[in-house]
Structures are given as structure tokens and as C-alpha cells.
Amino acid sequence: MEIFTDIINWQAARDSGYNDGSIGFVPTMGSLHRGHLSLVRYSLKENDYTVVSIFLNPTQFNNPDDLKHYPREIERDQILLEKAGVDALLLPDYGQIYNDDYRYQVIETEFSKKLCYASRPGHFDGVLTVVLKLLNIVQASRAYFGEKDYQQFQLIKDMARAFFLPTVIVPCPTIRESDGLAASSRNLNLTAVERKLAPKFVRRLRSEQAVQNVIAGLETDGFRVDYVEDIGDRRFGAVYLGPVRLIDNIELKEITK
Ligand code: AMP
């Protein structure tokens, strides 16, 4: 696996060694788990080359404490990616990605103002801006995003269409632990007691109850509820356990009768 900390070096390598086949791209913030690795496997299967980026993007964190405590495991991540058969890992720093110091931003005005917006204003501006930069840097045929972050996936897909980006945005199913909890880097920050409670979140989302009753049930369990909302054919939820924020979503057809 080739490792690039310098974008210019990656661009030179891309134009010489990676231009004879398709590139699949998996952008991440590191602290990799089975969810990330499933995206990598889709990319490996569907492309000649697979490129992964690890960049803990500060502009999408509106809470400095959340950024400070976000898990970082770069050596372990590198070993996992190497073993998986990834061709190139991009490890740019802030100055490389934000050569404009975030003067230029991508702002979406409708769907980004729903769901996560109320408690994380500015979050999707940071996400869309960094993803546009990364897609331009990598120039992949396909880029892979998890349905676990469905609002994010939808916004990125719509951005690619709005700006005529050549990369196909591919959705990948949510990977869950055996107890149903969606795999997430933030799960590492749960206490043992919180980790035991956490899978009740998705069980409540899947229950046949109306949204208001799901919220009431989660609060009784000990979650602090940010939102539970049905939009289109999905039920979206976000909750806090202590300082840790968990998000998830299910298709309404998954609701158990
Ligand atoms: P992150 O490192 O949290 O920015 O996530 C990088 C990519 O992995 C995003 O496209 C996420 O949606 C995806 N991802 C994170 N967790 C999961 C999961 N449990 N299942 C599938 N994809 C995931």
C-alpha cells in the first residue's frame, strides 16, 4: 500500500500509475471498524484500484470536545487497510486540504437543514466541502458511502449531481454489531453500561410504535433524544448516551409488525 501525506505526490502517482484502470474511493475519518472495511471490500470488488483517505475533518465538528475525544488509531488503521489489499492511503493534514483556510464552502439549503442540523449546525457544510475537495483530489470512478449516515449519503449524492461530478456515488448497507448496534467509531467512547443499553436505540426505531412513542420509550430507557423522524421511506434517529451521540436509520419496511 502506498501512503501519501502530500496531495501533489498523490496526483503525480495517480496520473502515472493509477490511470490505466478504474479507481474506487473510500473517504473516512479513521478509527476504522467493520463498517469502513465493508465499504473497502465493495470498492476492491468493483474497481482496479482502491484509494482510502483518513482525514479527521475539523470543519464538520461544531463541538470542540467531540473533535478532541474522537478516537484516533492511525497505526492500527494502516495495518487493517494494508491487510485488506488497499492500493493507496491518503493522509493529508489540515493545511493540505484547507489551502484556503475554509474560505470556500459548499452549502446546501434544504435537506441539510433537517434532522442533524438542529444540534449540529454547519456540520453538513463541513462534510460537503471536504468531500468535494477529496473527490476532486482522487478523481475516482466510484466513491463509497455508508447508509448508516443516510442524510450525509443523500446530500453527497445530490451534490455530485448538482455539480456534474464524474464520480458515481455508491451507497453501502449499514454494518451492525451482533446485538444490532450500528458499527461506529464513537462506540469506543461508550462506557460498559452505555454500550449494553445502546442496541435498544435501533430496536426502538424498528418497533411498530408512532414516532412520539418511540421517543418516549427511548427517554424512559435513559437516552437523551435529539430526534426521531420519518422522512420519505425511512425512519431517522439521533440520541445521546452521556456525551456520545449515536445516529441510525432504518427503512420503514423494516418496522416489525
Ligand atoms: P466516518 O469515518 O465516520 O466519516 O465514516 C466513513 C464512511 O464509513 C462513511 O461513508 C460512513 O457512512 C461509513 N460508515 C460508518 N459506519 C458505518 C457502518 N456501520 N456501516 C456502513 N458504513 C459505515
Query: Which residues, including other chains, have CB under 8 Å from residue 224's CB and lie 6 or more apart?
Result: 239, 240, 241
Cα–Cα distance between 242 and 209 in angstroms, integer?
A: 25
pLDDT at residue 184, as a whole number: 96
The mean per-residue pLDDT over the stretch 132-152 comes to 98
**Mutational pocket test of ligand 1: of 39, 76, 150, the residue with most ligand atoms within 8 Å of the beta carbon:** 39
CB within 8 Å of 181: residues ≥ 6 apart: 187, 195, 198, 199, 201, 202, 246
Closest CA to 168 of 181, 179, 157, 180: 157
Q: Do the Cβ atoms of 240 and 224 come closer than 8 Å?
A: yes
Q: Would you give the distance in Å from CA 236 to the centre of its chain?
A: 15
Above 70 in pLDDT, residue 257?
A: no
- Report the separation in Å between the CA atom of 110 and the middle of ligand 1, taken as the mean of its atom positions: 23
Nearest residue to 204 (alpha-carbon basis) of 171, 175, 178, 237: 237
Our answer on whether the CB atom of 182 is closer than 6 Å to any ligand 1 atom is yes
Same topology for domains 2-172 and 185-249, yes or no? no
The model's pLDDT over 209-237, given as tens digits with 9 standing for 90+, comes to 999 999 999 999 999 999 999 999 999 99
Relative to the CA of 33, which ligand 1 atom is closest? Answer: 16
* Ligand 1 in reach of 183 Cβ (< 6 A): yes
Distance 168 CA to ligand 1 centre (A): 17
CATH number of 185-249: 3.30.1300.10
Biggest distance spanned by C-alpha atoms of the chain: 58
* Ligand 1 neighbourhood includes 28 CB (under 6 angstroms): yes
- C-alpha cell recorded at residue 196: 449494553
**Among the listed residues 193, 149, 152, 144, the one whose alpha carbon sits nearest the alpha carbon of residue 171:** 144
Provide mean pLDDT across the span 32-58: 98
Which of 42, 52, 76, 148 for a ligand 1 pocket mutation test, highest count of atoms within 8 Å of Cβ?
148
Q: At 252, which helix (H) or strand (E)? A: none
- Checking if the pLDDT of 43 tops 70, the result is yes
Q: Is residue 131 within 8 Å of 165, Cβ to Cβ? A: no
Confidence of residue 57 (pLDDT cuts 50, 70, 90): very high
Separation of 37 CA from ligand 1 center, angstroms?
Answer: 9
* Burial (0-12, 13-18, 19+ Cβ within 10 Å), 43: buried
Say if residue 183's pLDDT is above 70: yes
Specify the ligand 1 atom closest to the Cα of 32. Answer: 2
Q: 256 pLDDT exceeds 80? A: no
Q: What is the pTM of this model?
A: 0.97
Nearest in space to 237 (alpha carbons), one of 211, 217, 209? 211
Segment 16-29, tens digit of pLDDT: 999 999 999 999 99
Please give the CATH number for the structural domain made up of 2-172: 3.40.50.620
- At 65-92, the pLDDT tens digits run 999 999 999 999 999 999 999 999 999 9
Opening angle at CA 30, ends 38 and 118, nearest 5: 95
For the chain, domain boundaries: 2-172, 185-249
pLDDT tens digit sequence for 148-174:
999 999 999 999 999 999 999 999 999
Is any ligand 1 atom within 6 A of the Cβ of residue 29? Answer: yes
User: Does 33 qualify as catalytic in the annotation?
Assistant: no
Q: Compute the Cα dihedral for 185, 188, 191, 195 and give only its sign.
A: positive
